[in-house]
């Protein structure tokens, strides 16, 4: 009965956490974005610190400042480019929708009148609402920009606090061996997230650049906007790559008179996605993360429901962190195995350690066995 009670309490606790994440979106999402930016800035700063001019290397504070300015510059260029084109895209979106509707309704040979009396083309045109999609993306970007001040405040406090993280861990854990284990988990999380982000940025950048060049050659409207959109969508697992292939093709179908350009763009972007996403990316990623595809899709749907589009970008890093942590504890290791693709985890069973418990008489953490000994 105690085990059933523990499972019930855990389930209630998890549901409560997700409920709080949902209702606290306006407060917590800027914090999570600030943490992601802080991590990226620190990672880029560490890369700058490895650059040497002979025997001279840049001091770490200068590298951090240079990394911060680099990110601010890139974000400013991205926002400036999108803001200068978003009005044009929103203005032409109704025209694209009208043209696309007329093209899709031409597929009369797929008539399925038994479904509410609508043809195949009418059903597709009802599902695909370009003005609504464009307005939704614009609203998400506007919401993030509106929280820019709060994000910068969070970011400033994170930089002020980062020097005290290791001290807090040392003060929180009594046993040096346990402290080493915790530091091992933190280092693994840091290394895996850094690897994932680095590879994903490289893969998405290559996909976006090649797609932009291809769309520019094919004279597709707003090729730069679609190139950046493809770059961003590739951070969303599975679904993002599919949307990044279909959406530009639908735009060409809406802007052209025939179907030739649509087929060429769909095939060209599809080849780029397959070659990079299915051949190059697995070679670079290897089996480091070993996450189940169905778990990734469910995770994507969950975070998309909780935090909309930003949640879709953050869902895989969240899943990696949770899987790494769960794999280090014997009681939660089965959950990590379920989340994995083939049941193999990078953490051997002999490298896991028992969960910690707070010491009620002090500020340190004790292992479960130590707590029992203290009670006896």
Q: Tell me the pLDDT tens digit for each residue of 313-335.
A: 888 888 887 887 787 777 778 88
Q: Is residue 41 part of a domain?
A: yes
| Banded model confidence at residue 207, pLDDT cuts 50, 70, 90 | very high
Residue 36 clears pLDDT 60, i.e. is over it? yes
Per-residue pLDDT for 192 more than 60? Answer: yes
Domain presence at residue 96 = yes
Per residue in 252-269, pLDDT (tens digit) is: 888 877 788 888 999 999
pLDDT at 361 exceeding the cut of 70: no
Is position 214 within any domain?
no
pLDDT of residue 206: 93
In a domain? residue 100: yes
Tell me the average pLDDT across 290-311. 84
Spell 154-183 as b/e; 16+ CB within 10 A means b. Answer: bbeebeeeeeeeeeeeeebbbeeebbebbe
Q: Which of 2-11, 21-30, 81-90 has the highest mean pLDDT?
A: 21-30
More confident residue, 203 or 259: 203
pLDDT above 60 for 308: yes
Let me know if residue 23 belongs to a domain.
yes
Average pLDDT over all residues of the chain: 77
Mean pLDDT (whole number) for 190-206? 83
Local confidence band at 368 (pLDDT 50, 70, 90 cut-offs): very low
When mean pLDDT is compared across 193-197, 260-264, 278-282, 302-306, the lowest value belongs to 193-197
Binning pLDDT at 50, 70 and 90, where does residue 288 land? low
Check pLDDT > 70 for residue 28: yes
Q: What percent of the chain is modeled with pLDDT above 70?
A: 81
Strands (E), the chain: 52-53, 56-57, 356-358, 365-367
Answer yes or no: is 95 within a domain: yes
75 close to 86: Cβ distance less than 8 angstroms: no
Stronger pLDDT, 116 or 106, i.e. the higher one = 106
Distances (CA, A) of 101 to 94, 135, 234: 10, 18, 27
Tally of structural domains, the chain? 1
Asked whether residue 272 carries a pLDDT value surpassing 90, the answer given is: yes
- Kindly report, residue by residue over 67-102, the tens digit of the pLDDT: 889 988 888 888 788 777 777 777 787 787 777 777
Q: Which residues does 59 contact at the CB level (< 8 Å), separation at least 6?
A: none
Tokens, residue 83? 């803001």
pLDDT recorded at residue 366 = 42
pLDDT computed for residue 217 by the predictor: 92
CB 192 within 8 A of CB 289: yes
Q: pLDDT-based confidence at 232, cuts 50/70/90?
A: confident
Residue 63: pLDDT above 80? yes
User: What domain range is 14 assigned to?
Assistant: 1-172
Q: How confident is the model at residue 362 (pLDDT cuts 50, 70, 90)?
A: very low
Q: Is residue 265 part of a domain?
A: no
Asked if residue 301 belongs to a domain, the reply is: no
Residue 271 scores a pLDDT above 90: yes
């Amino acid at each position: 009965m105690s085990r059933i009670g523990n499972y019930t309490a855990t389930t209630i606790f998890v549901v409560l956490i997700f409920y709080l994440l949902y209702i606290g979106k306006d407060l917590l999402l800027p914090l999570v974005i600030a943490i992601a930016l802080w991590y990226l800035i620190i990672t880029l700063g560490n890369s700058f610190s490895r650059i040497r001019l002979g025997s001279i290397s840049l001091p770490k504070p200068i590298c951090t400042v240079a990394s911060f300015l680099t990110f601010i510059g890139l974000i400013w260029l991205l926002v400036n480019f999108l803001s200068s084109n978003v009005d044009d895209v929103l203005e032409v979106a109704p025209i694209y929708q009208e043209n696309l509707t007329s093209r899709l309704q031409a597929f009369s040979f797929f008539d399925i009148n038994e479904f509410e009396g609508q043809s195949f083309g009418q059903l597709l045109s009802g599902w695909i609402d370009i003005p609504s999609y464009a307005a939704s993306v614009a609203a998400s970007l506007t919401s993030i920009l509106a929280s820019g001040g709060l994000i910068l405040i969070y970011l400033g406090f994170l930089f002020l606090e980062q020097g005290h993280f290791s001290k807090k861990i040392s003060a929180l854990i009594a046993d040096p061996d346990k402290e080493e284990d915790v530091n091992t988990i933190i280092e693994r999380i840091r290394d895996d997230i850094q690897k994932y982000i680095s590879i994903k940025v490289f893969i998405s950048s290559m996909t976006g650049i090649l797609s932009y060049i291809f769309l520019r050659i094919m004279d597709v409207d707003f090729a730069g906007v679609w190139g950046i959109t493809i770059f961003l969508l590739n951070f969303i697992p599975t679904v993002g790559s599919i949307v990044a292939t279909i959406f530009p093709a639908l735009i060409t179908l809406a802007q052209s008179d025939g179907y030739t350009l649509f087929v060429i763009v769909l095939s060209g972007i599809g080849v780029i996605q397959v070659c990079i996403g299915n051949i190059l990316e697995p070679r670079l990623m290897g089996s480091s993360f070993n996450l189940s595809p169905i778990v990734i899709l469910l995770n994507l749907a969950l975070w998309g429901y909780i935090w909309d589009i930003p949640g879709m970008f953050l869902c895989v890093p969240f899943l990696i962190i949770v899987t790494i942590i769960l794999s280090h504890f014997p009681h939660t290791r089965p959950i990590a195995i379920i989340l994995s693709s083939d049941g193999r985890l990078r953490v051997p069973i002999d490298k896991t350690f028992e969960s910690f418990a707070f010491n009620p008489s002090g500020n340190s953490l004790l292992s479960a066995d130590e707590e029992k000994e203290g009670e006896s």
